Amino acid sequence: MTPESANSHSWVDLTFLGGLGEIGLNLMTLETGDYLVVVDAGLMFPEDQMLGIDIVIPDFSYLKERRDKVAALVLTHGHEDHIGAVPFLLKEIPLPVYGTPLTLALLREKLREHGLLTDADLREISPGTPLALGPFEFEFIRVCHSIVDGVGFVVRTPQGLMVHSGDFKIDQTPISGGAMDLNRFAHYGEAGVLVLMSDSTNAERPGYTLSEREIGLTLEGLIREAAGRVIVTAFASHIHRLQQIVNIAAKFGRQVLFNGKSMVVNTRLAKELGYLDIPSGLEITVGDLERLDPSRTIIVTTGSQGEPLSALARIAMEAHKQVHIQAGDLVILSSKFIPGNERAITTVINNLCRLGAEVVYQGLADIHVSGHASQEELKLLLNLTRPRYFIPIHGEMRHLIKHTRLARAMGVAAGGILLATDGAQVRFDSRGATFMDRVDTGRVFVDGKGVGDVSRIVLRDRRHLAADGLVIAYAAVDPSAGKIVTGPDLITRGFTLEEEQAPLLDQARKIFREILLKALTEPTQDWLEVQTQVSKALRKLFFKLLERRPMILPLILTL
């Protein structure tokens, strides 16, 4: 299908460039005529098979092709999966960025690291205050999540009202006192919602998500009974959790040390903005630890996912300069185990136990609760907004599909349920909603300072090397004299110990030599083809005798 005139507002497109069918990479656009607004620009942390990759960001090709109409970026909250790719986007397309105070504060730290802060155009938004961006009029609505200052929004478009839930849960007793503004969602439900886009992360989980206050009660009980020092790990962005720990420390006469780079930065920003209240004299520095009774301290640190360079991992490996585990310490991992991190977390737990600490983690006590809505909350939002169309967002495919079934059970017509994935573009016009041709999307790998220079082929080679190692087969020949000058010989790395497989490697050298000698007798030689022959012959030999497939790199130097 072809778009209508660039000056027409008779259609509105929602284009999903990331975050559907995966956790992370959240990026979508709202577009009509000559105006396009981007919503969120998040990253994804690398999966196990992405060897050497630091982070993954969305492919911005769709936006770069339309850079003349990209007008603004709107952020729903400050988690990495929603703001982590913003610096990379701004390097490609400078544009104004709208977000709540904490969201922008966290983003400023990122932009400073990338050398982009001076030129950044950051504009503050707040719930209830309208924002006009071309033909779109936004109203941001307060939601509860595992980070403060999260918002959903309603946007008035030329085709009707579109509602985006943001990441949310319905917590009736939130720590900050700012409950999710269900009234505004209901208000727009009465006005008539064209489409609802709703968080699907916990669509498989029945019932309601626990209140954050319930976790505070568990933490309070554990800390009350602790005879020695307490070390708590939590996500550095979870300001509500940090506030509860501060309150508990004050109640039991303990002082608090915030440890770890991101923890220190985030608590500083939260204090400056008034989201974290720490009584005078309660917070200490790492230099105060030696003079204080361990039973009067709480250390709040990073490392809840077992990250190798995190503060907790270094403490567990006895590599932290100031913090050392003592017998009787209580360590609380106040977070969930993110899939893929289980082994790293278990290693940290084992090391802490070996050093004499008592460790409490997921499964032993209710020390973490999700920031995402469970089924009954998702149903409530559907009931309040009563959309004509429904698009589940933010989740893996199983989450999105489960959410569509919930919507169907809530009375959304089958034709009104739109199951979108990355690359989907949904057009709303006078005929209703239509899926357009898919747009190009993808993942861009960031490795050190390289952005996009690591391809899937490079990753495949890295996995190959990691699985079976490397064999370098090298030799020097003099074709004019018809002789081998040097070698042939083999160098192996990660394949086998030469002393253990000497007969095999001798056999490989013999095969290599035979190929070289045969080639030297030919009237003309294609040495690239000879290298291919060597690679195939050695690959066949190694698999036959060892059932291994090392990467083989033949190097033949002609003199």
Q: Has residue 537 got a pLDDT over 70?
A: yes
Q: Has residue 301 got a pLDDT over 80?
A: yes
- Across the chain, mean pLDDT equals 89
Q: Has residue 459 got a pLDDT over 60?
A: no
Tokens of 490: 């083999």
Task: State pLDDT tens for residues 165-201.
Answer: 999 999 999 987 679 999 999 999 999 999 999 999 9
Q: Has residue 555 got a pLDDT over 50?
A: yes
What is the structure's pLDDT at 365? 82
Instruction: Tell me which of 118 and 463 has the higher pLDDT.
Output: 118
Q: Has residue 558 got a pLDDT over 90?
A: no
What is the structure's pLDDT at 9? 72
The label of the residue with tokens 């009067």 reads 296
Residue 25 CA to residue 276 CA, distance in Å, equals 28
Could you give the C-alpha distances from 443 to 327, 393, 403, 459, in angstroms and in order? 46, 18, 25, 13
Q: Is 475 helix (H, G, I), strand (E, B) or coil?
A: strand
Question: How confident is residue 447, by pLDDT bands cut at 50, 70 and 90?
Answer: low
H or E element that contains 194: strand 193-199
H or E element that contains 393: strand 389-393
> Ramachandran region of residue 267, left (φ > 0), alpha (ψ -120 to 50) or beta?
alpha
Domains of the chain as residue ranges with CATH: 12-207+370-451 (3.60.15.10), 212-360 (3.40.50.10710), 469-558 (3.10.20.580)
Pick from 411, 404, 405, 406: nearest CA to 388: 411
What is the structure's pLDDT at 47? 55
Q: Is 101 helix (H, G, I), strand (E, B) or coil?
A: helix
Could you give the C-alpha distances from 453 to 86, 109, 235, 293, 445, in angstroms and in order? 19, 25, 31, 52, 7
Task: State pLDDT tens for residues 212-262.
Answer: 999 999 999 999 999 999 999 999 999 999 999 999 999 999 999 999 999
Is residue 49 within 8 A of residue 25, CB to CB? The reply is no
Q: Has residue 388 got a pLDDT over 80?
A: yes
Beta strands in 430-533 (DSSP E): 432-435, 443-447, 450-451, 470-478, 483-493
Is residue 349 within 8 A of residue 314, CB to CB? The reply is no
Beta strands in 88-168 (DSSP E): 97-99, 122-124, 130-133, 136-142, 151-157, 160-164
What is the structure's pLDDT at 6? 41
Which positions are annotated as active-site residues? Answer: 199, 372
Average pLDDT value for residue range 327-334: 93
End-to-end CA distance of the chain: 60
What is the structure's pLDDT at 218? 94
Q: State the SS3 of 1-41.
A: CCCCCCCCCCCEEEEEEECECECCCCEEEEEECCEEEEECC
What is the structure's pLDDT at 505? 83
Pick from 146, 41, 45, 42: nearest CA to 102: 146
Among 254-263, 301-310, 489-498, the range with the most confident prediction by mean pLDDT is 254-263
**Which of 211-215, 305-309, 350-354, 366-370 is least confident?**
305-309
Tokens of 484: 């081998």
CB atoms closer than 10 angstroms to residue 298 = 25
What is the structure's pLDDT at 277? 95
Instruction: Tell me which of 443 and 189 has the higher pLDDT.
Output: 189
What is the structure's pLDDT at 7? 46
pTM: 0.82
Backbone φ, ψ for residue 268 (5° rounding) = -60, -45
Tokens of 361: 């983690």
C-beta pairs of 5-10 under 8 Å, 24+ apart in sequence: 5/33, 6/33, 6/34, 7/33, 7/34, 8/32, 8/33, 9/33, 9/135, 9/158, 10/158, 10/429, 10/430
The proportion of the chain whose per-residue pLDDT surpasses 90, expressed as a percent, equals 65
Backbone φ, ψ for residue 351 (5° rounding) = -65, -40
H or E element that contains 284: strand 283-284
What is the structure's pLDDT at 168? 97
Q: Has residue 396 got a pLDDT over 90?
A: yes
Q: How many CA atoms lie within 13 A of 116 on its CB side?
A: 23
Question: How confident is residue 49, by pLDDT bands cut at 50, 70 and 90?
Answer: low
Residue 479 CA to residue 515 CA, distance in Å, equals 13
Q: Has residue 339 got a pLDDT over 70?
A: no
Question: How confident is residue 367, by pLDDT bands cut at 50, 70 and 90?
Answer: confident
Could you give the C-alpha distances from 286 to 90, 133, 512, in angstroms and in order? 36, 47, 61
Among 424-428, 488-492, 551-555, the range with the most confident prediction by mean pLDDT is 424-428
Question: How confident is residue 332, by pLDDT bands cut at 50, 70 and 90?
Answer: very high
Residue 475 CA to residue 221 CA, distance in Å, equals 70
What is the structure's pLDDT at 303? 87
What is the structure's pLDDT at 499? 61
Q: Has residue 51 got a pLDDT over 60?
A: no
H or E element that contains 183: helix 182-191
What is the structure's pLDDT at 1? 40
What is the structure's pLDDT at 48? 56
Q: Residue 80 gets which letter from DSSP?
A: H
What is the structure's pLDDT at 517? 86
